[in-house]
Amino acid sequence: MLKFSGLVIWRLGSRSSLRKYSAPGATVFKAHKTEPSTNVTDRNVEGNTLGIKDGPSLVAAAFASLNSPEQDEKKKPSAKSVKQSRAQQLDSQIIRATDVESLLLAAENPVISRKHALKMVSVLSEWSSNNKVKLSDFEKDPRFLKLCRILARTPTGQAMSSLTMAEDLSTVLGITGDDEAARLIANLSLPQMIKVMKALQVKGRRSTPLLRALSYNITKQSEKIDLKKSADLLFSMAALNFPDPVLLDRICSDVVEILPENTDKPAVVNSILVSLGLLKYRHETVLLALTMWIQKYREICRPGDIASAVITLATVNYLPAQLDSLIEEAILLKEDELTKASSWLDLVFSLLILDKAREHHLVSTVKPEFIEKLLSAGEIPIPSRRKLMSIDAYIGLKFPSTTTRLAEDIAVGVPIVYTKEKALYVQSIMDTFRSLVSAETFLRKECQSGMGFLYDAEFVVDSKCHPVSLDKAANRKDVHRIAVLGLDYHDLTRKEFVPLGVNKLYSRLLQLKGYKVLEIPYTEFNPKDKLVTRVKYIENRLKEIISSTTKS
């Protein structure tokens, strides 16, 4: 709550129009653009720059500026210069202010916008919070009360009411700069801050200063964040792609503590689980607590709640033994129990990631009639087509006798390319491999798997890790075919750095095709390390893979 003491608090209204004055003193005359400004506002600005800070009134400032008329002559702008607008001059005056008097001097400007009034009050708020000034220094000053009237559009007494509605603040956030708005965040209550976060999400406004201010101030609140607020926060963070680790940990900690009190609200539990999956946040304690809750209260949960829980578990590649009952419930779900065909595809793909899918699950998604259901909602999205390609590849490798396969046209035109960041990371890996495998006949790069994904390279080595030509190795059984999968930031879960479930599925598919998979996560391989360090890392990993294969 924005306040300067326990007794005096004020409210910002939602209007953003300029204050209009009918007094003659409010009239502003436009000077010729090559003439120096002679109105009162400009004199105030000039007087302030001459060092008048404490005590002098508007008249004193005007007289001070009149003492040096020749200075005005010297400061005439050239024909090429552009005169600052009055708004810009006022902005500069506010920025230069160092105390209450110099700041409120700017409030004497006859034309003050709501934006400028908010900026000045937010500065006073910050100074008061930092004990730089006291409320008594300005609370009865007519210039401060004028700012309150501009912001509140109400009588002075009502203008000092509290800022209790997040809608008011969201209006403020829409008309002021991010830095000024961020200053106000610390003065809000926890519910207000959460409503502001929701407002940013609804508007799609990813303001880093505001989000950081919200995250910091929400985290330091002693009040517990209930399940509904936690769900709102997590969804907003996912939608705005703002996975602040400190705030995420705080939310998860409160969820674990408060969750046992909930006995009849599966929707909020489902919402939290879905958002954690979207954020790829592998907080094992809260994931176990939430999924155990769904398992315990299965009778009041919808089929979609069970499916969402399994999808999140698959996303973050987490499946504790305590959830056997939940997985069995998911396996027994039928396609018609879910609202959309795409939801069934997501569930089957997730069961495949967790290695729990049955043959009939997989085959159901590649049947022509199911593809028609997907097409009835429009063109099948690229991510869904890649899932279908992976499922079809698994069917072919694991159940070769199955005759129902994916129509070939589904895979046509599916772009499978690196992001810019991934391309840079993979290039650093390939640069390292040049010291191990020099000739192109020994190393194939950017390999299209035909299974819905790229793998970065493949090569062949013998039992002593010596490279073998790809052509010569085609018919040899005493060599090891190695597939390389580089894992950058987007390929690992947050908090616990493990490969995402989909990346583990890709490794399994490559293994089914006879490859030994060399995963290179960015947490272990630093492109900025010396070449000898990077080469040694890859050599050691290769030896581990070959050694484990020999033992098995």
pLDDT value at position 129? 67
Residue 478 CB coordination number (10 Å): 8
* pLDDT above 50 (res 81): no
pLDDT value at position 144? 83
* pLDDT above 60 (res 58): no
Say whether 409 sits in a helix, a strand or coil.
helix
- Residue that wins the pLDDT comparison between 100 and 153: 100
pLDDT value at position 53? 38
State mean pLDDT over 483-497.
96
State mean pLDDT over 249-267.
96
164-196: pLDDT as tens digits: 333 444 444 554 456 666 777 877 889 889 988
485 vs 504: CA distance, rounded Å: 10
pLDDT value at position 528? 93
Buried b (16+ CB within 10 A) or exposed e, 513-539: eebbbbbbbbeebeeeeeeeebbebbe
Output the CA torsion sign for 547, 548, 551, 552.
negative
- Residue that wins the pLDDT comparison between 15 and 319: 319
* pLDDT above 70 (res 68): no
297-312: pLDDT as tens digits: 999 999 999 999 999 9
pTM attached to this predicted model: 0.72
424 vs 176: CA distance, rounded Å: 39
Lowest mean pLDDT among 61-75, 222-236, 372-386: 61-75
pLDDT value at position 552? 55
Mean pLDDT of the chain: 81
331-367: pLDDT as tens digits: 999 999 999 999 999 999 999 999 999 999 999 999 9
Q: Tell how far CA 110 is from the center of its chain.
A: 42
Say whether 521 sits in a helix, a strand or coil.
strand
Q: Give how far Cα 549 sits from Cα of 479, 503, 542, 545, 546, Å.
A: 11, 21, 11, 6, 5
390 vs 383: CA distance, rounded Å: 11
pLDDT value at position 18? 36
95 vs 455: CA distance, rounded Å: 54
* pLDDT above 50 (res 10): no
397-407: pLDDT as tens digits: 999 998 999 99
Residue whose C-alpha is closest to residue 437's, from 491, 510, 522, 518: 518
pLDDT value at position 199? 87
| Pair 219, 246: CB distance under 8 Å | yes
Instruction: Quote the percentage of the chain above a pLDDT of 90.
Output: 53
Read off the pLDDT band of 152 (50, 70, 90): low
Read off the pLDDT band of 106 (50, 70, 90): confident
Read off the pLDDT band of 2 (50, 70, 90): very low
pLDDT value at position 139? 76
Q: Give how far Cα 386 sits from Cα of 380, 427, 453, 524, 531, Å.
A: 10, 24, 7, 28, 35
pLDDT value at position 27? 36
Q: Give how far Cα 256 sits from Cα of 217, 284, 286, 313, 528, Å.
A: 21, 11, 6, 17, 39
527-550: pLDDT as tens digits: 999 999 999 999 999 999 988 766
pLDDT value at position 74? 42
242 is written with which tokens?
A: 């703002």
Read off the pLDDT band of 61 (50, 70, 90): very low
State mean pLDDT over 116-129.
77
217 vs 185: CA distance, rounded Å: 7
- Residue that wins the pLDDT comparison between 100 and 52: 100
398-451: pLDDT as tens digits: 999 989 999 999 988 888 889 899 999 999 999 999 888 877 788 999 999 999
Read off the pLDDT band of 465 (50, 70, 90): confident
